[in-house]
Each structure stands twice: as structure tokens, then as C-alpha cells.
Amino acid sequence: MVNRWSFTKKGLRKLHQEKADPWHLGSSRYEQDKFDKLVEVAQGAPHASILEVGCGGGHLTEKLCTISNEVSGFDLSSDAIERARIRAPLADLFVRDSDEFDYAAHRVDLIVASEVLYYIDQKQQTLNRMAGCSDYLLTCEAWFLGATLPRRMEPWKLVKSVSFSRFKQLRWCSIRLWQRNGVTPAFAT
């Protein structure tokens, strides 16, 4: 299994060059079930337009396209984006680094960042820039090595938290829906 915590951006690009599915997202029942849970939680927030940060090979992107006709996503690996375009041909996908992405130019209902925030160098600046793009942020972070997000994450406030686990596989994560501070909820929490 690939060690998710030790990669630099250069290392992630190389990993995607060498392996079509480095984390076995397409073949892992846990990953597929986790994506289904993410989509279920996404449906609890406005989701007519979705931006997926770090979309990788498009496994989650493909599922997001089942609930929205306007899905876009980016990843820092051109190899991953090539595979994502095959998997999710209706999505607007492009190569970008999250630390350099112009969030303000891409207004969407919902941002999805599944297991990517721990790779972002400038977390607080990126979270602030995301708030200029959307009122809602859906995150999923694995519970390994203290990599989970805090319950307070400015300028966002937590509105829903779901634990997802498969104890036989010793895998679990926290799926969290965040709302930008100052926004009136568009759904019942």
C-alpha cells in the first residue's frame, strides 16, 4: 500500500505516472462505499455545481456526475487527469495545483476535497480562498497519523460530521460538511 503522508507534489506526480490507480480506488470496496457515502452527504447541501479538488483519476468525479450536471475538478497530475477524463467525460477537468488555483474565478455550490487537504502546503490560505468560491465544503480525511481536520476550521463552520469505517479492513475516515461562516443554511442540519 502506498504511504499517503510522505509524498511531495513531485512525488505525487511521479506516482501517478507510474501507477494507473495508486491507491486502488477502483478496486477497493471500502473506497467505493466511501465515495457513495460522500455523494450521499453532498446531496444534503446545494450541489447543482461541484468543484472537486485533487480529483486524481476521477473515481469520485464519476459518482459526483450522477448528482450534478456541472462537475469540474483539478489535480496536479496530468496523468491522473487523462484517466479522469475517460472515467468522467462530462466533467470539466484540468491540471492545476491547489495552492495556485484561482478559486474566486470558479464559483460553485459545493467544493469536494476528499483526502487531499493534508497535501496542501498553504492550508489556511487555501481554505480562505475556497470560501470565495463556494458556501459549502465537503471533506473526507483518513484517521491515520493525526491527519484529521480540526472541528474549527476558519472561515468554515462544521454543519455535519459522519464517521465512515470498515473495521475488518482497519480503515476509517471522517466525512464533514462545512458551511462558510455567515451563510444562512440552505438545508436542515
- From residue 139, alpha-carbon distances to 15, 18, 86 in Å are 23, 27, 24
Going along the chain from its start, the domains and CATH numbers come out as 4-180 (3.40.50.150)
Q: Of the given ranges (31-45, 143-157, 161-175), which has the lowest mean pLDDT?
A: 143-157
61-107 pLDDT, tens digit each: 999 999 999 999 999 999 999 999 999 999 999 999 888 899 999 99
153-188 confidence digits (pLDDT tens): 888 988 888 887 765 555 678 888 999 987 766 554
Percent of the chain with pLDDT over 90: 48
Determine if residue 22 is left, alpha or beta; phi over 0 gives left, psi from -120 to 50 gives alpha, anything else beta.
alpha
Q: Can you give the pLDDT at residue 5?
A: 43
Q: Tell me the DSSP string of 124-142.
A: HHHHHHHHTT-SEEEEEEE
Q: What pLDDT was estimated at residue 2?
A: 47
Residue 118: pLDDT over 50: yes
For the cut 70, the answer to whether the pLDDT of residue 140 exceeds it is: yes
> Nearest-CA neighbor of 1 among 38, 28, 41, 40?
28
Given this model, what pLDDT does residue 25 score?
A: 78
As given in the structure block, the three cell numbers for residue 103 are 478559486
Q: Which of 25-29, 130-134, 158-162 has the lowest mean pLDDT?
A: 25-29
Say if residue 58's pLDDT is above 80. yes
Give the position of cell 462544521.
158
